[in-house]
């Protein structure tokens, strides 16, 4: 059986030819143009690098910036200086107040009683001083009277001495006549008794002089003691009067403190007092933030502080007002330590796996009060701070 024969001359199917339009075009016609483009691109990069170097040398290197800055202020704590029950509160949180404006009132009934008592004590002290001065004059009069008593006692002594001399002579005469029997015994006895009486009267007169002298000395001592209480003083500057007057001033001062006033201009914050509440001296009632006396604490990295000095000028931008409002300030001080060093538990890096962490130091920048009035800020807001250090380089 014949098998069909195969044509050995049969050619394989031809592969489809690629379309020349589908192959990528290679610009081999103008290689110089591509070279010029590369040179222009390289020149642009060099110019940009040079411009950045110049900008960094002339501008960036003379300024240090940070966005880790926040608004702060020296707030005023409002607290009563006397105890009492709150009967009125005239302000609320976010309210703007002026210095001297009434913030709250305390019940002053007890304080008014204290003022009345102090006034009575002052009047009593003035009267006691007047009484002491009058007593001194009376004691001087008594001393003068005791001097007159001494004169009277001396006169009595002279009289008694004269009676004694007369009785002595009478007694001697009768005693001389006793031997002759010219006088009776009764006469001698009477003369003897008269002599004794005269002597006793002399002794009494001498004792009267001594008593009058002692009384006058006592009166003079009383006068000296009284004079010591008023010497060099008047009713206006007597110590007791001054003490009573000081107590009266204190009572009046306490009465005035029943009305609590704003110590500074600012905005009320953290008000935590209500009507009817009884406050003790020193109890924090509210806080006043002086919005026109704000400053910024900018936390700069330690590597940025080499040329930062007090007095350098700074510009600041707040997130609140945006880039359209630029604040101007001045560096007034650098903190004495970093925030980590001032923490309750300072960081301890004495470990084997210690990793250095760049520290930040607060730099205080005072703001222009006029700019603050035109564009108010609030404590705690974020700021971008830039300090011009060109003057230190």
Same domain? For 181 and 282 the reply is no
Here the CATH number for the domain that contains residue 197 is: 1.10.287
- Is there a single domain that holds both residue 80 and residue 157? no
In a domain, 14, yes or no: no
Buried-state track 132-168, b at ≥16 Cβ within 10 A, e below 16: bbeebeebbebbeebeebbeebbebbeebbebbeebe
**Phi, psi of 39, rounded to the nearest 5 degrees:** -65, -40
**pLDDT for res 329:** 94
Residue 147 belongs to a domain: yes
What pLDDT is recorded for position 55? 62
Check residue 87 and give its pLDDT: 96
Are 229 and 116 in a shared domain?
yes
Task: Look at residue 298 and tell me if it is in a domain.
Answer: yes
Query: Domain span at residue 199?
Result: 111-252
177 and 201 co-located in one domain: yes
Nearest to 157 by CA among 220, 219, 211, 217: 211
Could you list the pLDDT tens digit for every one of the 393 residues in the chain?
A: 344 444 444 444 444 554 545 544 545 556 777 788 888 888 888 888 877 776 665 555 678 999 999 999 999 999 999 999 999 999 999 999 999 999 999 999 999 999 999 999 999 998 887 777 777 667 677 777 767 777 777 777 788 888 888 888 877 777 777 666 666 777 777 877 887 888 888 888 888 888 877 877 777 777 777 676 667 777 788 888 999 999 999 999 999 999 999 999 999 999 999 999 999 999 999 999 998 889 999 999 998 898 899 999 999 999 999 999 999 999 999 998 887 676 666 666 666 666 778 889 999 999 999 999 999 999 999 999 999 988 655
Task: Identify whether 120 is part of a domain.
Answer: yes
Domain-embedded: residue 322: yes
- The answer to whether 241 and 68 are in contact (CB under 8 A) is no
Residue 284, domain member (yes or no)? yes
Q: Same domain for 93 and 193?
A: no
Instruction: Give the closest residue to 375 by CA, choosing from 311, 316, 333, 331.
Output: 316
Number of domains forming the structure of the chain:
3
CATH code at position 362? 2.40.30.170
- Same domain as 271, residue 241: no
Q: Are residues 90 and 121 in the same domain?
A: no
Cα 15-17-19 angle, rounded to 5 deg: 150
Q: Are residues 115 and 246 in the same domain?
A: yes
Q: Are residues 273 and 212 in the same domain?
A: no
Whether 6 maps to a domain, the answer reads no
Looking at the structure, tell me whether residues 115 and 239 fall in a common domain: yes
Residues 82 and 198 in one domain: no
| Same domain, yes or no: 324 and 298 | yes
Q: Is residue 371 part of a domain?
A: yes
């Amino acid at each position: 059986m014949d098998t069909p024969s195969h044509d050995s001359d049969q050619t394989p199917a031809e592969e489809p030819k690629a379309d020349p339009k589908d192959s990528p075009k290679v610009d081999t016609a103008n290689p110089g143009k591509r070279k010029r483009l590369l040179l222009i691109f390289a020149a642009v990069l060099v110019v940009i690098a040079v411009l950045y170097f110049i900008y960094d040398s002339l501008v960036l290197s003379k300024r240090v910036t940070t966005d880790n800055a926040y608004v702060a202020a020296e707030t005023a704590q409002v607290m009563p200086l006397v105890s009492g029950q709150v009967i009125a509160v005239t302000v609320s949180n976010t309210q703007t107040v002026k210095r001297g404006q009434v913030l709250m009132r305390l019940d002053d009934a007890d304080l008014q009683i204290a003022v009345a008592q102090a006034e009575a004590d002052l009047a009593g002290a003035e009267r006691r001083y007047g009484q002491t001065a009058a007593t001194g004059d009376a004691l001087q009069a008594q001393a003068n009277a005791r001097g007159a008593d001494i004169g009277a006692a001396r006169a009595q002594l002279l009289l008694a001495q004269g009676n004694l001399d007369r009785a002595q002579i009478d007694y001697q005469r009768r005693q001389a006549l006793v031997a002759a029997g010219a006088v009776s015994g009764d006469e001698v006895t009477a003369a003897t008794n008269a002599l004794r009486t005269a002597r006793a009267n002399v002794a009494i007169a001498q004792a009267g002089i001594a008593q009058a002298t002692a009384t006058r000395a006592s009166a003079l001592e009383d006068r000296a003691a009284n004079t010591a209480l008023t010497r060099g003083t008047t009713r206006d500057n007597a110590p007791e009067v001054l003490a009573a007057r000081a107590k009266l001033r204190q009572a009046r001062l306490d009465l005035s403190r029943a009305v609590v006033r704003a110590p500074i201009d600012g905005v009320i914050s953290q008000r935590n007092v209500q009507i009817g509440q009884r406050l003790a001296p020193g109890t924090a009632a509210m806080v006043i933030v002086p919005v026109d006396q704000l400053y910024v604490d900018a936390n700069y990295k330690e590597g940025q502080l080499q040329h930062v000095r007090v007095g350098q000028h700074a510009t600041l931008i707040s997130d609140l007002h945006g880039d359209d409002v630029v604040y101007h300030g001045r560096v007034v001080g650098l903190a004495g330590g970093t925030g980590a060093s001032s923490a309750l538990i300072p960081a301890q890096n004495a470990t084997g796996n210690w990793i250095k962490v760049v520290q930040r130091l607060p730099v205080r920048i005072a703001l222009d009060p006029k700019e603050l009035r035109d564009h108010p800020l609030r404590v705690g807001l974020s700021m971008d701070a830039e300090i011009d250090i060109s003057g230190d380089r």
